[in-house]
Amino acid sequence: MPDWLIRAKKTGIILAGLLVNISTGHTIELKGSLTQGGMVIAELAGVKSARLNDKELAISPDGKFVFGFGRDADTEHTLSWVDQSGKVHSKNLMITTRDYDIDRITGVEKKYVSPPKEVLARIRKEGAQVSAARGKLSTLSYFDDPVYRPAKGRISGVYGSQRYFNGQPRRPHFGLDIANKTGTPVLAPVAGKVVFANPDLYYSGGTLILDHGYGITSTYIHLNKLHVEVGQIVELGDHIADIGATGRVTGPHLDWRFNWFNERLDPQLLMIDKLATKSSKE
């Protein structure tokens, strides 16, 4: 019998369960989705350090750590940790693969499909700024809070879709699109700190990034108006922005994204499909 067993209840790709040490009785609780695009929160009392594959994981004061898997993540990963005695433990985690949609979008302005040379430096600079905002480690504790829907509207695009603009293949879509009229309120789906706010990025237009702690950020794209500033703490249900049609779009919508550092996660796997309000957590 192996030293470590996974005892879990699965519903589709959602996992909620315990990783159990048979010899000591210590447990690691896993909460989240063991799948491409998924996020997992682990909790273990008395752990000194932890790693996912070769990446060190920051541990909160209450023994929690978080990690995630990108769109095309490998199926096998190694979770390892060191207990207070200095003993190293490890467990292979198998994640499920996903099939993604093909999304063919027409009517996109040519400058957003094949940008002119004079804007390439701007695009690179803006991309680096967004990556830097997502790449920082903070000790905010909001990453374990429930996540609610940030806006009313129709879901018009999903995570992972391979996109074609005017017939030309481009990068996959890494967000959840919620279509509604310009000016529709965007509400904070979970508390966080504003770490990036820019009303006019080339591709994404009005762009806002919230930090939720330990590498977890959420991003709001194509905004018409931003109502918050960098450094501001926002609470669940706060009116942070308005839906717009800025950047590379064919109509007004919110493109909503989640990241673990620069690994792109699927917001729909995290979302409670109920509009965020200040009373949501009551």
Out of 56-60, 100-104, 268-272, least confident range? 100-104
As a whole-number percent, the residues of the chain with pLDDT over 70 amount to 90
End-to-end CA distance of the chain: 44
The average pLDDT across 175-190 equals 98
Residue ranges per domain, the chain?
4-94, 102-275
In CATH terms, is domain 4-94 a member of 2.40.160? no
Q: How far is CA 244 from CA 151, 153, 156, in A?
A: 12, 13, 14
Judged by DSSP in three states, 9 sits in strand
> Which segment of 1-5, 109-113, 190-194 scores lowest on mean pLDDT?
1-5
pLDDT tens profile 111-164: 888 889 999 999 999 999 999 999 999 999 999 999 999 999 999 999 999 888
Q: Given this chain, do its domains 4-94 and 102-275 carry the same CATH topology?
A: no
- Specify the pairing of strand 47-52 against strand 55-57: antiparallel
Q: What is the pLDDT of residues 3-21, one digit of tens each?
A: 334 444 443 444 545 555 5
What torsion do the CA atoms of 242, 243, 246, 252 make, to the nearest 10 degrees?
-150
Q: Please report, for residues 155, 164, 202, 251, the alpha-carbon distance to residue 107 in angstroms, rounded to integers and kept in the order given.
A: 20, 11, 17, 10
Average pLDDT over residues 10-39: 67
Q: What is the pLDDT of the chain when averaged over all its residues?
A: 89
- Architecture in CATH for domain 102-275: Distorted Sandwich (2.70)
Output the pLDDT for position 278.
78
